[in-house]
Structure 1
Amino acid sequence: MRPAPPPFPWLRAFEATARHLSMTRAAAELNISASAVSQQVASLEAYLGRPLFRRANRRLMLTANGALIAPKLSNALNLLHEAIDDSLPARRQQTLNVKVTTSFGSQWLMNRLDGFRSRHPGLTVQVSATAEPIESDRSTAEIEIRYGTGDWPDVEASLLIEECIFPVCHPDLLRRKPGLKSPKDLARHDLIDVPGYPQGWSDWLQAAKISFNWMKHRIAVDQSVMAIQLALEGRGVALGRSPLIQREMADGRLVVPFSPRLKTGAGYWVVHRRRNAEARKVLAFKTWLLAQTSVAAPKITKAKSKSSHS
């Protein structure tokens, strides 16, 4: 016979803290005090007989046990909300307005939305890249996926994906002369650039300890989706941004010729107004989004050098 599950408030406090990696933010979402969240998480840890969080450099992080439990618990709570919504006919037909950047929407979000729709058939997701930021009084968006560092004072923000940058190219560029055996070979190729990001080619070349006038080789476009398309056509080497090129790397259409991977300090965040934290549809979409990144991203495999090809 299975033992009785721990009290629901303990589970809810842990799940919210795991999503935010902050007891203060979890407390704001649950409308209780941070000390209450801390006590409930401690009670759950005592019940399980193992720690679920640890602190590193003043940051709260999940332990291996916490990371194992968190996504499963998020899914379970999401299913509970679905069951309640399904029992209330008035809530079956709803619309959720989502703001997202064009590149992230086309490269990451849209090919995953069917999974959300299948779990929430009564919720229509309306996606826009042109909506006003959700802080604006004119905004119709209820939740937003935003690029940046998360330091926005008037909203609730949870990190979805941390960004890394590294070169990517079509596999044919490895075989065609002049080839790409080491970072210094970039000086003989066109470099596809998207201005406007805080970190770009200059930062990556510095991290790789390579110095040349890369601007002479620059092809500038104004959106990441355009840079990815040029790279897919073999027109040059693009600076890959980890959340935006998962599909192309997973199916081998783009490869990573060499290291390093450079963390930019930025990423994509799930953002909503603080007063929307308890809205069922906002919470359902946010929980689903965060659960997507609990699955391991495609492994980034360094491309083989020319000598390894037959």
Structure 2
Amino acid sequence: MTRPAPPPFPWLRAFEATARHLSMTRAAAELNVSASAVSQQIAALEAYLGRPLFTRANRRLALTPGGALMAPKLGNALNLLHEAIDDSLPARRQQSLQVKVTTSFGSQWLMNRLDGFRQLHPGLAVQVSATAEPIESTRSTAEIEIRYGTGDWPDVAAEKLVDEFIFPVCHPKLLRRKPPLKSAKDLHRYDLIDVPGYPQGWSDWLRAAKVSVDWMKHRIAVDQSIMAIQLALAGKGVALGRSPLIQRELADGRLVAPFTLKLDTKAGYWVVHRRRSSEQRKVLAFKNWLVSEANTPAIGLTKARNKSSRS
């Protein structure tokens, strides 16, 4: 059976850009057209499909279930289309893309997923460099950076990848020890693994749990989150988990979260690049892939706001 002809390419491109940004204005700026043109193209695509792709409430866009299903597949299809065109051109040297990331996020989040990008873009060599310092405070020649913070950096384009929630995590065997770890008040019997330097940490979580912070002196301090995770995995104490960094360990049961309280730090990880670099196809391809990966639900991890700890 012959498939119907696909809708016009400008309609698809307008939808993909708007779905990625959740903003017709930003999509229009990327595509170098007016926001009105983007709106008309999306309306035409919705009419063609016979269903809405976005909901609009309080001047905010959100994808419908059908739109959310279509957006990442279309983004990958457009990237493959660009690659097919490149492959038909005269042979070129393999392109490379320089990416800079914090050590913990790179090892715990990015590197676990990078093979997926390599499969989609075999002609693009990704060179990743990691640093334990805040990336914005270092001299960087990277074309893309993944920074931690609230996104308020001047002179760069920043798009949030993941939010951050903090909550205690430990090895399952600690739950079987005596004294028991049944409530947040029991934490004073255990070593708390701490990573000083974050804007919010153990003292904030304990206050949210309505527990005294006077016994914070009983702690193990390390200078990187990856070290705190390793100590928790070894059963050396209770670490303050940061949601983007412990997805694997929670999913496979090597770490558990004994309490339900998850504190929103209002910070997160952002993909950052120079504004003009958005015109480079390789930068846009990697950014789109990162956003698509970040929008994939994390296994074994549920965000929660303002929940009370177990009593």
In structure 2, what is the equivalent of residue 219 of structure 1? 220
In structure 2, what is the equivalent of residue 292 of structure 1? 293
Residue identity matched to 1:250 = A
In structure 2, what is the equivalent of residue 306 of structure 1? none
Q: Distance in 2 between matches of 1:237 and 1:58?
A: 43
The alignment partner of 1:277 has SS state of helix
The alignment partner of 1:98 has SS state of strand
Residue identity matched to 1:289 = L
1:185 to 2:186 alignment: yes
The alignment partner of 1:257 has SS state of coil
Q: Distance in 2 between matches of 1:20 and 1:144?
A: 18
Residue identity matched to 1:244 = L
CA deviation after TM superposition for structure 1 residue 154, in Å: 1.8
TM-score, structure 2 as length reference? 0.88
Structure 1 pair 270–91 and aligned structure 2 pair: CA distance change class (3 A): farther
Structure 1 pair 55–239 and aligned structure 2 pair: CA distance change class (3 A): farther
CA deviation after TM superposition for structure 1 residue 92, in Å: 5.0
Residue identity matched to 1:161 = V
CA deviation after TM superposition for structure 1 residue 56, in Å: 4.7
1:232 to 2:250 alignment: no
In structure 2, what is the equivalent of residue 208 of structure 1? 209
Structure 1 pair 91–272 and aligned structure 2 pair: CA distance change class (3 A): farther
In structure 1, what is the equivalent of residue 51 of structure 2? 50
TM-score, structure 1 as length reference? 0.89
Q: Which runs of 5+ in 2 are unaligned?
A: 303-311
1:260 to 2:261 alignment: yes
CA deviation after TM superposition for structure 1 residue 105, in Å: 0.5
Identity of aligned residues (%): 80
Q: Is the 8 A contact 2:207 2:213 kept in 1?
A: no
CA deviation after TM superposition for structure 1 residue 256, in Å: 0.9
Structure 1 pair 203–133 and aligned structure 2 pair: CA distance change class (3 A): closer
Structure 1 pair 132–34 and aligned structure 2 pair: CA distance change class (3 A): farther
In structure 2, what is the equivalent of residue 197 of structure 1? 198
Q: Is the 8 A contact 1:92 1:123 kept in 2?
A: no
Q: Which runs of 5+ in 1 are unaligned?
A: 302-310
Q: What are the residue-to-residue correspondences of 1:273-292 with 2, within 5 Å?
A: 273-292=274-293
In structure 2, what is the equivalent of residue 26 of structure 1? 27
Q: Is the 8 A contact 2:247 2:300 kept in 1?
A: no
Residue identity matched to 1:196 = G
In structure 2, what is the equivalent of residue 82 of structure 1? 83
Q: Distance in 1 between matches of 2:143 and 2:16?
A: 22
Q: Deviations over 1:267-296 (max 9, x none)?
A: 111111111112111111112212222332
1:7 to 2:11 alignment: no
| More deviation, 63-72/80-89 | 80-89
Q: Distance in 2 between matches of 1:267 and 1:122?
A: 30
Residue identity matched to 1:27 = A
The alignment partner of 2:112 has SS state of coil
Q: Distance in 1 between matches of 2:251 and 2:143?
A: 32
CA deviation after TM superposition for structure 1 residue 236, in Å: 1.0
Q: Deviations over 1:19-42 (max 9, x none)?
A: 122222222222222232222222
Question: How many positions carry a matched residue from both structures?
Answer: 300
Q: Is the 8 A contact 2:99 2:142 kept in 1?
A: yes
The alignment partner of 1:145 has SS state of strand
What do you get for the CA RMSD once the two structures are aligned? 2.3
Q: Distance in 2 between matches of 1:133 and 1:236?
A: 29
| More deviation, 236-245/63-72 | 63-72
Q: Is the 8 A contact 1:134 1:142 kept in 2?
A: no
Q: Is the 8 A contact 1:134 1:141 kept in 2?
A: no
The alignment partner of 2:166 has SS state of strand
The alignment partner of 1:112 has SS state of helix
Q: Distance in 2 between matches of 1:97 and 1:2?
A: 41
In structure 1, what is the equivalent of residue 305 of structure 2? none
Structure 1 pair 24–214 and aligned structure 2 pair: CA distance change class (3 A): farther
Q: Distance in 2 between matches of 1:134 and 1:13?
A: 32
Q: Is the 8 A contact 1:78 1:287 kept in 2?
A: no
Structure 1 pair 154–34 and aligned structure 2 pair: CA distance change class (3 A): farther
Q: Deviations over 1:62-82 (max 9, x none)?
A: 222221111111111121122
CA deviation after TM superposition for structure 1 residue 57, in Å: 5.2
